[in-house]
A and B are shown apart, each in its own frame.
Chain A
Amino acid sequence: MIEVVDLVKDYGNFQAVKGVTFKVEKGEILGFLGPNGAGKSTVMKMLTCFLPSTSGTATVAGFDCETQPMEVRKRIGYLPENNPLYTDMRVREYLGFAAAAKGFKGADGERTVNQALAETGTDLVAGKLISQLSKGYKQRVGLAAALLGDPEVLILDEPTVGLDPRQIAEIRTLIRSLAGRRTIILSTHILPEVAMVCDKVVIINQGRVVEQDSTKNLSKKLSKSDKVQLQVQGPRDKVQAFLEKMDKVKKVSVKEELGEDLTTFEVETGKSVDLRASLAAAVVQKGWALNELRYVGLALEDIFLQLVTQEPGKETSVEEAAA
C-alpha cells in the first residue's frame, strides 16, 4: 500500500532524511518512532506530497508522490503535525470544505461529513467555531477531516501530542478502531503508544531507519542482554561484589536503596541466559534474605534508548536546530 525507497531530503546543507526505506501492507498500522527532529514529519510531508523529495521514491496505493500528487492526495487522509485548522470556521463548515476538496459536494458531501462527525464523536460540536473547541476536540476535528471520504491511507503526525491522558486513551482507541480497512501510519515519540496501537514499528533517528519489525518481534530480537531484578536484605557493597563475581553475570547495578540493608539490584546477563535459580541459591547460601526475584527482560523503552542514543548531548543540539 505504501512503499518508500531510499528517500532523501536535503534542506540546504542539512540532510534531514538520509535514505529511508520501508513498506506498509494494506490494513496495517505502522508506528513511526523517533526522537524529536529525527525526520519523521519530513518523511510524512513527502508521503503526502507537501514536500518533494531530493531523491528516492515514495508510492502510495501505487501512485508516485512526485509525478501523480493529485492521485495520491485523493487517497490520503492526513493529520499534519500540530493539527492546523481554519479556526475561524465552524466544524461542519470546515469539514464541508475539506469534503468538497475531495470531490464530495451537495448531498454527497453532507453524508460524508456526517459520517466523519459520527465516527470521531464530534457531532455534538458540529455547529461550534473551531477556535472555541478544547484541544482534544480540535484533534478529533483534525482526525475527522482526515477520515472524510473513507481514504485508503491515513497519515497521522503525532495525533496524541498535547492531550490529557483521558483524551489520549480515547484517540488511541479511535485509531485502533479505524484499523483493518485502512492502512495507517502514525508517528510518535511516545513508546507505549506504539506498543499499544501499532502492528509494526519503524524506528528512525537522525534521518535513518535504525530498526524495523513487528512490535512483538522487536522486543525479542533486540535484547542483547536480559535483566533480572532482585531485592536482597544484606550489606549492600558485599552483596554487589558477590553478585558481580558470579558466572555469566555482565553487570550489577543498584536500582533502588530501600533501607539500611535493603537494596534492589539489577543484574544484567547474557542473552537468553536464565540465572534466576542459581542467583536465588547463591544469595540464600550466603545467609542474606531474598525478598524478591524477577525477570525483567527489556522493555521497548530500553530498546528505543539503546537504538537512538549514541552520542547524547551532541546529537540533541543538531536535531533541535533541524526541527
Chain B
Amino acid sequence: MKSNILPIYFRELKSTFYSPVAYLVLFAFYLISGYFFASITTNYAQYSMMSASRGGGDMKLLEYLLAPFQGNVAVTFIFLLPLISMRAFSEEKKSGTIETLFTLPFSDLDILLGKYFACLTLLLAMLLPVCLFPAFIADKVALHWPAMLAGYLGLFLLGATFIAVGVFTSALTENQVVAAALGFGALLLLFVLSWMESSASGFWKDLLQNLAIMNHFQEMSKGTLALKDLAYFLLFSGFSLFATLRVLESKKWR
C-alpha cells in the first residue's frame, strides 16, 4: 500500500500557520533564547577575562558557553513544545473532523506521520535561527562548527522526542489544554529523572542515569556523538509514536 503522507503534512502545516499559537511560540522562543544567549555570552566574556588575568588558559567555549545555552533552550522546550503538539489530535476530536479524516483513504500511520512531520517542521523553524546565534561572536572567538552542530542535533532530537510525547498525550483527550498539561507533566517528569539519580546507588543509579533524557542531551551538547544517545532519542520517539497508533486504534473500539 502506497503511503499518502504528503496531503496530511501540507494540510497540517497550513493549519499550524493559520493559528496564532505557532507565531506566539516562535516569538516567545526567539525572545527567550536570544536573552539566554546574550546573558551567557556576557558572563562568559567576564569569566574568561578574569581567568586570563589570573594566568589561566582560555575557557572552553563549548563547555562554558554553548552547552549551558543549549541546556537552557532545552528547558524552554518543556514549556513550549507541548503547545505545538497539543492540537495534533485533540483539535480534530473536538471539532469532529477526526471522522472526516479517518474515513478518507489514509492509513492511521499516514495521518500520524503527516502530523508529526508538520510539528517537526515548526521545530526546525524554531531552531534554525538559534543555530546561527554563535555567528555573532565568530569574530571574537574561534568556533568549532562540527562540535556545535552535534549539540544542535541534540536539541532537535530532544525536541522531536518531546513532540512525540506531546502527540501521544494529544491522542488521549479532546481538550487541547489537557493535552498540553499532560505533555508538560510527562516532560517535567522525564527532566526530573536526572535529579533523582544523585540520591540513588548501584543498579538504580545506572538505570536512572541511562533513562534520564537530559543526560543523553548533555553528552551531545558537549560535542560528542555517541550511538547510544542517538538510539535513545530515536527509540523514545518511535515508542511514543507507536503508543499513539495504539491509542488511535483502541479509540475506535470503544
Which residues of A pack against B, CB within 8 Å?
A: 11-12, 45, 48-52, 70, 73-74, 76, 78, 80, 82, 84-89, 93, 97-98, 100-103, 145
- Given that A84-B96, A101-B7 are known contacts, is A50 also in contact with B15, CB under 8 Å in the complex? no
Give CA–CA (A78, B252) in the complex, Å: 17
Q: Which A residues touch B1, using CB under 8 A?
A: 70
Shortest CB-to-CB span from B240 to chain A, Å, is 24
Closest residue to B105 on the A side, CB-wise? A73
Whether the pair A78, B11 counts as a contact (CB closer than 8 A) is no
Whether the pair B97, A101 counts as a contact (CB closer than 8 A) is no
Give CA–CA (A49, B18) in the complex, Å: 30
Q: Which B residues touch A52, using CB under 8 A?
A: 252-253
Whether the pair B103, A49 counts as a contact (CB closer than 8 A) is yes
Chain A to chain B contacts (Cβ below 8 Å), 21 pairs: A50-B102, A50-B103, A52-B252, A52-B253, A70-B105, A70-B107, A73-B105, A76-B103, A78-B100, A78-B103, A80-B100, A84-B99, A84-B100, A86-B11, A86-B15, A86-B97, A86-B100, A89-B15, A100-B4, A101-B104, A102-B105
Which residue, B11, B104, B107, has most C-beta atoms of chain A within 10 A?
B104
* Majority secondary structure, B binding face: helix
Closest residue to B95 on the A side, CB-wise? A84
Closest residue to B6 on the A side, CB-wise? A100
The reply to whether the CB of B106 lies closer than 8 angstroms to some CB of chain A is: yes
* Majority secondary structure, A binding face: loop
| Interface contacts beyond A101-B105, A103-B4: sample of 20 additional A-B pairs, CB < 8 Å, sorted by A | A11-B254, A50-B99, A52-B252, A70-B105, A80-B96, A80-B99, A82-B96, A84-B95, A84-B97, A84-B98, A86-B100, A88-B15, A88-B19, A89-B11, A89-B15, A97-B10, A97-B11, A100-B6, A101-B7, A102-B105
Shortest CB-to-CB span from B156 to chain A, Å, is 28
Q: Which B residues touch A82, using CB under 8 A?
A: 96
Give CA–CA (A45, B102) in the complex, Å: 10
Give CA–CA (A37, B254) in the complex, Å: 17
Closest residue to A47 on the B side, CB-wise? B103
Give CA–CA (A89, B11) in the complex, Å: 9
Which residues of B pack against A, CB within 8 Å?
A: 1, 4, 6-7, 10-11, 14-15, 18-19, 95-100, 102-107, 252-254
Give CA–CA (A51, B252) in the complex, Å: 5
Closest residue to B107 on the A side, CB-wise? A70
Whether the pair A45, B253 counts as a contact (CB closer than 8 A) is no
- Given that A84-B96, A88-B15, A88-B18 are known contacts, is A48 also in contact with B103, CB under 8 Å in the complex? yes
Closest residue to B100 on the A side, CB-wise? A84
Shortest CB-to-CB span from B113 to chain A, Å, is 14
Give CA–CA (A89, B19) in the complex, Å: 11
Give CA–CA (A70, B253) in the complex, Å: 18
Whether the pair A102, B104 counts as a contact (CB closer than 8 A) is yes
Give CA–CA (A127, B106) in the complex, Å: 26
Q: Which B residues touch A98, using CB under 8 A?
A: 100, 104
Q: Which B residues touch A87, using CB under 8 A?
A: 95
Give CA–CA (A89, B95) in the complex, Å: 14
Give CA–CA (A68, B24) in the complex, Å: 43
Q: Which B residues touch A49, using CB under 8 A?
A: 103
Whether the pair A85, B97 counts as a contact (CB closer than 8 A) is yes
Whether the pair B105, A74 counts as a contact (CB closer than 8 A) is yes
Candidates A11, A45, A76, A101; contact of B99 at CB < 8 Å: A45
Q: Which A residues touch B252, using CB under 8 A?
A: 50-52
Q: Which B residues touch A93, using CB under 8 A?
A: 14
Which residue, B103, B106, B252, has most C-beta atoms of chain A within 10 A?
B103
- Given that A76-B103, A80-B103 are known contacts, is A100 also in contact with B7, CB under 8 Å in the complex? yes
Give CA–CA (A236, B18) in the complex, Å: 70
Closest residue to B106 on the A side, CB-wise? A101
Whether the pair A73, B104 counts as a contact (CB closer than 8 A) is yes
Give CA–CA (A100, B11) in the complex, Å: 11
Shortest CB-to-CB span from B12 to chain A, Å, is 10
